[in-house]
Amino acid sequence: MAALKYAGLDDTDSEEELPPGWEERTTKDGWVYYANHLEERTQWDHPKSGKRKRVAGDLPYGWEQETDENGQVYFVDHINKRTTYLDPRLAFTVEDNPMKPNAKRKYDGNTTAMEILQGRDMSGKVVIITGANSGIGFETAKSFALHGAHVILACRNVLRANEAIQRILKEWHKAKVEAMTLDLSSLQSVQEFAEAFRSKNVSLQALICNAAIFGVPWQLTEDGLESTFQVNHLGHFYLIQLLEDVLRCSAPARVVVVSSESHRFTEIKDNSGKLDFNALSPSKKEYWAMLAYNRSKLCNILISNELNRRLSPHGVTSNAVHPGNMMYSSIHHNWWVYTLLFTLARPFTKSMKLPGSLLNPIWSTAQKPVSHCPLFLTLHKMCLATY
């Protein structure tokens, strides 16, 4: 005992410290074992505590597991451009004992998308994100891709989408990302996108309706509708309808609609309390960019609630998400007044990496009660009739 005390091996504070000549390693499936280089042998039990352990969670951001020619597992740190045989997760091992259920994680306004997905393996999951070449959409696409998901960037400008893909591939060369053309201002384009996606014969675990325009001058789309209403809402609504059966067959699946707090500051009913179609797609004389945006965001929420009511029994849940106030994105670039205001306010705005709220509801099973939305059927008929 005196020798052990002298060597510090009886110190309870150093129970996890390995004796001289020992090394901690991991198997491909995450189990920890111990190599004794002095005796050239290995064992599963810790040489001091006698405990068996395994690593917890996925590899940290930027790391990848490989196997050398001798079958030995090693780890590549793509960020710092180095390799090591030491598993970076060894600092977060858990004992091979029945574990108590983990406490529910809490998220706030500073939670990033990467933190929401931490420890999740998204391999085999297919995710469509509209407007994913920049801003919130890009950060969401990158976060999914770096966790193994097959991410489809559905964008009007495929050139910019491919540039975004290259930025993701620079961070992880094995990321599964691709670009597909989707112009929400054209219902024909929405239909062609849906047909092209369906032809891939893959599942769809998440459809994130993120694309939006803001502060644009009044103009009609080729379908004869006011552009803000169609791009922000009706185009997405039509896309969901076209892919609804794919989502059902892929259940559990999610639809996430990016809305805004500004939905509170508008009205879509006339004086008699009925739906005012002129307000949804106003004439040039009655158009105000800010109100048009607010109305489209209100429609996002109403439809999302009704979608959840109708589809959740089939394993497809729907959430409308407010990504947070004071987000500095490119959505304001169409209006010089807002560009000036956002530029002045930029030191006080949130980073694009912060809105983990887009990802959090995707994996939450708890749903708040929703009420029936009379707009659902009306807008559906309107969409199909227009097309």
Q: Is the peptide bond before 252 cis (omega within 30 degrees of 0)?
A: yes
- Give the number of residues written for the chain: 387
- DSSP string spanning 79-146? TTTEEESS-GGGGGEEESSPPPPPPPP---TT--HHHHTTT---TT-EEEEETTTSHHHHHHHHHHHT
> CB 218: neighbour CB atoms within 10 A?
16
| Active-site choice (238, 293, 328, 387) | 293
Whether the Cβ atoms of residue 259 and residue 321 lie closer than 8 Å to each other: yes
Closest by CA to 175, choosing from 89, 62, 56, is 62
229 close to 184: Cβ distance less than 8 angstroms: no
Question: Can you count the helices (H) and strands (E) in the chain?
Answer: 11, 14
Q: CA 86 to CA 63: how far, in whole Å?
A: 12
293 among known catalytic residues = yes
Number of C-alpha atoms within 13 angstroms, CB side, residue 329? Answer: 24
Q: Which residues are catalytic?
A: 293
